A and B are shown apart, each in its own frame.
Chain A
Amino acid sequence: MADDSQVVSQVLAGQTEAFEVLILKYQQPLFNYIGRMVAERETALDLTQEVFLRAFAGLKTYNPQYNFRSWLVRIASHLIIDQWRKKKLPQTSLDQVYEDEAGGLNSFSPADTKALSVTTQYEINELIHRVEEAVEKIPRELRELFLWRYVNGLSYAEMAEISGLPVGTVKNRVFQAKERIRAYLEVKP
């Protein structure tokens, strides 16, 4: 399969149809991310389509040195934020979400068996199903980073670049997201 930047060059050279290759490649990961960030399926489909429309319209501004997937995710993230603003959804207080950002993350001890044994209670498929449920429950600022990492497979460096946050902060928040999911699994077996 052609490299993303090659496909972009083809599209910019006038082979508009080549853009479909990029849609086919990224439609599923983008929809997986957007679909879990907005509740309604139709809205998620509209937003995913809008990502590709905007990407196409702004293809000339795309820097081939930048990861194309990250570029799409950045567009998607901005669209989702716009969507939230339009719907006037309540914003989660950053202080509330990240209050334990400065510490407490290293307090885990393997002796804390309750914290870890949760995974032993489920077969992996059941666990996936429960994680899916839990993802919907965590604050969206954390959920977004979690999805970038585990659904879109972005590296921490890529996530830091997209979000404008330091790598350490991104890692920290992804960890918090996982801990909230794990806490949800414990509370609702």
Chain B
Amino acid sequence: MSCLSLVEVDDYLEKEIAPEKAKSVEEHLLVCPDCRAAVANRRRFLEACSRLPDLPLPLNWAKTVMAKILSVGPTLPILILAAIAGLSFLFSSFRFLLGSLRPETSAPAFEFRLPLLGLVKSALLLLVKAAVAVTSGFRTFLRPDRFSFPGTGWPFSVLTLELAAGLFMAAVVFVFLLAYYYRLGLTREKKVSG
């Protein structure tokens, strides 16, 4: 075997060569003082490379990171967006409710149009709400703001909250609608019977 190249020296020292090749390298080293010196020098160099000192971390740094992970929640802009969307939805729902509780003396046609208008408005607001939920959820998943409910593994995120709020609002509107049509039905029965 001829003298070793530096690449071969590195491969030999880092055990990146096949056992047969390593054996032939060792046989060569027995008879070649130059290569022996080369291997010894390179060994020290590689040792220095792999023994670079640790860069000092602050004390209890892992605890700090862990606290950050556990405490990170929705960001302020997301909370403001969610609050605006939620309030607008609530406002719309209450107006819808008030509309449904108009005096029975209102003209039937007007009574008929009002809930439709409310429905359209509610549907539009639901869309806005969904858009906000998707946007904030997207931002949430891009950011590491998500964590699980302890002991369940269920993801806890702004998206989860937004969807839950949206479902709740939809349920409220549905109940209002039922209440309104029930009341409308009673009114008509009263008029018919009267």
Contacts and interface: CB of A to CB of B under 8 A. Distances in A.
A127 B72 contact: no
Contacts of A109: 3, 5
Interface residues of B, number: 50
A56 B147 contact: yes
Given A106-B5, A110-B4, A17 B57 contact: no
Interface string B13-56: 00010000000000000001011011001101111111111110
A-B interface, 9 closest residue pairs, ranked by CB to CB distance from nearest: A57-B144, A108-B6, A53-B144, A110-B34, A110-B38, A35-B55, A116-B41, A127-B48, A14-B153
Contact of A19 (B47, B50, B69, B153): B69
B50 A132 contact: no
A81 interface: no
A76 to B, nearest CB: 14
B52 A151 contact: yes
A96 B50 CA distance: 26
Interface string B54-96: 1101100111111011101000000000000000000000000
A119 B41 contact: yes
B7 interface: yes
Contacts of B129: none
Contacts of A115: 6
22 contacts: A14-B152, A27-B57, A27-B62, A31-B54, A45-B57, A49-B65, A49-B68, A53-B68, A56-B144, A109-B3, A109-B5, A110-B32, A110-B35, A110-B37, A119-B41, A119-B44, A124-B44, A124-B47, A127-B44, A128-B53, A131-B49, A150-B49
B57 A28 contact: yes
A25 to B, nearest CB: 9
A106 B62 contact: no
Interface stretch (A64-72, A82-90, A174-182): A174-182
A103 to B, nearest CB: 12
Interface of B: 3-7, 10, 16, 32, 34-35, 37-38, 41-42, 44-55, 57-58, 61-66, 68-70, 72, 141, 143-153
Contacts of A159: none
A119 B52 contact: no
Interface string A76-100: 0000000000000000000000000
Interface of A: 12-14, 16-17, 19-20, 23-24, 27-28, 31-32, 35-36, 41, 44-45, 49-50, 52-54, 56-58, 105-111, 113, 115-120, 124, 127-128, 130-132, 135, 146, 150-151, 153, 156, 171, 175, 178-179, 181-182
Contacts of B66: 17, 19-20, 23
Contacts of B153: 12-14
